[in-house]
Amino acid sequence: MSTNFLQTAGLTARYGDAQALFGIDFHIATGETVAIIGANGAGKSTFLKAITGLVKVAPGALTIDGKPWGGRSPGDIVRQGIALVPEGRRLFPSLTVEENLKMGAYAGRPGPWSLARLYTLFPILEEKRKVPATSLSGGQQQMVAIGRALMSNPRLLLCDEISLGLAPIVIKEIYDALPAIAAEGMSVAVVEQDVMVAQRVSRRLYCFQEGRVSLEGASDGFSREQISQAYFGIQT
Amino acid sequence: MTETIVQGLLLGGLYCLFSLGLSLMFGVMRLTNIAQGDLIVAGGFAAISIAPLVGGHFVVAGLVLLPLAFAVGYGLQRLVLNRTLGKDPLPSLVVTFGLSIVIQNLLLEVYSASPRSLEAGALSTGSIQLGEELFVGTLPLLILGVALAATLGLQLLFSLTPLGRAFRAVSDDREVAELMGVRSANVYAIATALATALIALAGLFQSLRTTVSPADGPLLLLFAFESVIIGGMGSFWGTFVGAMVLGVSQQVGFRFDPGWGVWFGHLVFLAVLIVRPNGLFPKTKG
């Protein structure tokens, strides 16, 4: 049985003036794919920001390899092998596709991912490597955003709403690439609003509601009623 | 007329060096350095003080001055300016404005109000013949060459090196750049260090070409500002061209009347603002 290499215990976080997370217990094992679902404002994105150091948390609230890593800088976290594909992609507009990907490798973590390997996974990016990243289509931009995160050779890839604003066929294409990406034992956590997609790609899922975990367990072990109860917090 | 334009371009070389630091700091961190002019003057005075200590030659003085300015710029950003950065541009404007006043008064205290200059030796009187009746001074030509090299160097640094990539990335999206492991506090400090080295170089040349006095800063800041804005914020070649436009405009003004030079430059600056509010070469963003 693989161990939980990353864990949060009673993680609380503030976003601006308001408290956004009220004690999140979360864990992910090496090679595991986990989904986090929940309505808008449930705290999913804040949770990913808390893990990656963009939102400050208490030292003991986040442990990586059993050691406390809460409150460290985003740079420290990425060097530990945690990479985020941010919501809305947030590519660097004044950098080309290839420069965006190279920025992903800034932390200098060794590992299997390189420009050449990424171009094999997403051949269209090699074709477009010299053009400004934000001139690409939405789906291609998402590939750049995922590729940029992979260039840091993460042990855990955090994907924040990577299907947002994309056509269903493109969403399928991107999610179909996930197993190949995770094949070498990389863990993946996807934040999704689309429950069906989330259930399909993950082994376990967490449902967030107003900053708390309202449901947790095997992705295929829940009825539709259980999920909508946890999602919206009302009986249907 | 040819001579006026050539003299204008040579003056533009000096203005380019005045403004590259401003352009660099604004480009990387959207920080407008109100103390730019006073730092140039301080650089000039520093060169004047260093020269006698190292045997009097201005090149040696420059070799001592530039690393010193780099270190001062790094420290200034780490200890002071990084604390002023944020969504609101006001704190950095107020702090650099305050810095400007502090520098002016310190210089006044140390060097008194009288203008000083640095001896350039044979270079200050030497000239090169370009046409039948066209002579250009060796020193102004050297300054223009250095300005061209500095602009090219910055452009290459930004477009080809990992550091330049990091400069552009933190400028686009600081938070995401930090996610990739970029330490923006350090990247900003390197940008200001480079800018301060360029500022010191500008001050050195200013003190060689004319004089520096503690009250000169605001006018030099104005020239730097005008060059950057004529060229378009955030583009080094734009800044270079902007400085040339300003230099030529001022020389043309001088031709009409010796009192019109600076004023004519302001007129052209305003005209550019009306016709192209984003400058001649605005930075294109996706």
Identity of the residue in B181, B182, B286 whose CB atom sits nearest the CB atom of A93: B286
Residue A167 is part of a domain; what is its CATH number? Answer: 3.40.50.300
Q: Mean per-residue pLDDT for B144-159? A: 97
Find chain B residues with C-beta within 8 A of A134's C-beta.
286
Residue A55 is predicted with a pLDDT of 93
Distance CA B160, CA A13 (A): 40
Closest C-alpha among B226, B236, B232 to residue B276: B232
* Angle, helices B90-111/B217-231, rounded to nearest 10 degrees: 140
Residue A184 is predicted with a pLDDT of 83
Residue B1 is predicted with a pLDDT of 83
Residue A235 is predicted with a pLDDT of 57
B266 vs A: CB within 8 A:
no
Task: Kindly list the distances between the CA atom of residue B106 and the CA atoms of A50, B47, B147, B201, in Å, as whole numbers in the listed order.
Answer: 46, 16, 29, 20
Residue B285 is predicted with a pLDDT of 43
Number of domains in chain A: 1
- Check residue B204 and report its DSSP letter: H
Residue A177 is predicted with a pLDDT of 85
Distance CA A88, CA A142 (A): 9
Helix (H, G, I), strand (E, B) or coil at A6: strand
In the sheet that holds A82-85, the strands lie side by side as A82-85, A156-160, A187-192, A33-38, A204-209, A212-218
Residue B265 is predicted with a pLDDT of 95
Distance CA B211, CA B111 (A): 13
Cβ within 8 Å, pair B283-A94: yes
Find chain B residues with C-beta within 8 A of A94's C-beta.
168, 171-172, 283, 285-286
Identity of the residue in B168, B172, B183 whose CB atom sits nearest the CB atom of A75: B183
Neighbours of A68 (CB within 10 A): 13
Q: Which residue range(s) make up the domain with A127?
A: 4-232
Cβ within 8 Å, pair B162-A78: no
Distance of CA B58 to the CA centre of its chain: 19
B175 vs A: CB within 8 A:
yes
Identity of the residue in B168, B173, B180 whose CB atom sits nearest the CB atom of A104: B180
Contact (CB, 8 A) for A144 and A97: yes
Distance CA A123, CA A96 (A): 16
Domains and CATH numbers, chain B: 2-121+145-275 (1.10.3470)
A23, containing H or E segment: strand A18-29
How close, in Å, is residue A24 to chain B by CA atoms? 22
Find chain A residues with C-beta within 8 A of B177's C-beta.
92, 103
Distance of CA A59 to the CA centre of its chain: 21
Distance CA A107, CA A143 (A): 20
Find chain A residues with C-beta within 8 A of B182's C-beta.
75, 103, 106
Q: Which of A84, A91, A101, A103 to mutate to test the interface with B (most CBs of B within 10 A)?
A: A103
- pLDDT 10s digits, B97-124: 999 999 999 999 999 999 999 988 778 7
Identity of the residue in A93, A133, A152 whose CB atom sits nearest the CB atom of B180: A152
Helix (H, G, I), strand (E, B) or coil at B117: coil
Instruction: Retrieve residue B206's tokens.
Output: 């200013």
pLDDT bracket for residue B90 (50, 70, 90): very high
Residue B232 is predicted with a pLDDT of 87
User: Which amino acid belongs to residue A228?
Assistant: S
Distance of CA B139 to the CA centre of its chain: 17
User: Which amino acid belongs to residue B14?
Assistant: L
pLDDT bracket for residue B235 (50, 70, 90): confident
B28 vs A: CB within 8 A:
no
Contact (CB, 8 A) for A50 and A13: yes
Please, which residues have CB within 8 angstroms of residue A65's CB and are 6 or more apart in sequence? A5
B87 vs A: CB within 8 A:
no
Find chain B residues with C-beta within 8 A of A128's C-beta.
none
Identity of the residue in A75, A92, A134 whose CB atom sits nearest the CB atom of B181: A75
Instruction: Retrieve residue B117's tokens.
Output: 């200059």
- Beta pairing partners, A28: A6
Distance CA B89, CA B202 (A): 26
Residue B130 is predicted with a pLDDT of 82
Distance CA B213, CA B211 (A): 7
Helix (H, G, I), strand (E, B) or coil at A33: strand
Cβ within 8 Å, pair A92-B183: no
- Beta pairing partners, A35: A190, A205
Helix (H, G, I), strand (E, B) or coil at B110: helix
> Which positions of chain A have pLDDT values less than 50?
1
Helix (H, G, I), strand (E, B) or coil at A205: strand
Closest C-alpha among B23, B2, B5 to residue B247: B5
How close, in Å, is residue A132 to chain B by CA atoms? 7
Residue B121 is predicted with a pLDDT of 79
